[in-house]
């Protein structure tokens, strides 16, 4: 294995990690923004008002995207294991 192969493996790992984490992070970001705006308008500055909806939405997004996330992780793992003989 040369340095270019190692760089490519690292790039793929980072890309998969970003793809897997993105749906929940984007959902948390959007909900946090909306709730932050509502708190600013109503002047209610309670931390639990922002935390609970973000957790609920992120769990819902995780449950909806879980089949896709598992497919992506399994595909990446399969590709890595299948390429072991060619990299040694």
pTM over 0.85: no
Q: What is the pLDDT of residues 31-69, one digit of tens each?
A: 999 998 998 898 888 877 888 999 999 999 999 999 999
Name, in order, each residue with C-beta under 8 angstroms of 76's C-beta and a sequence gap of 6 or more: 12, 13, 16
pLDDT at 9: 86
């Amino acid at each position: 294995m040369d340095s270019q192969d190692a760089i490519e493996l690292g790039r793929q790992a980072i890309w998969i990690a970003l793809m897997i984490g993105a749906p929940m992070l984007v959902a948390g970001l959007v909900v946090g923004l909306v709730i932050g705006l509502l708190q600013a308008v109503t002047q209610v500055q309670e931390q639990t008002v922002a935390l609970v909806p973000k957790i609920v939405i992120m769990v819902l997004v995780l449950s909806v995207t879980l089949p896709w996330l598992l497919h992506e992780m399994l595909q990446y793992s399969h590709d890595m294991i299948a390429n072991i003989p060619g990299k040694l």
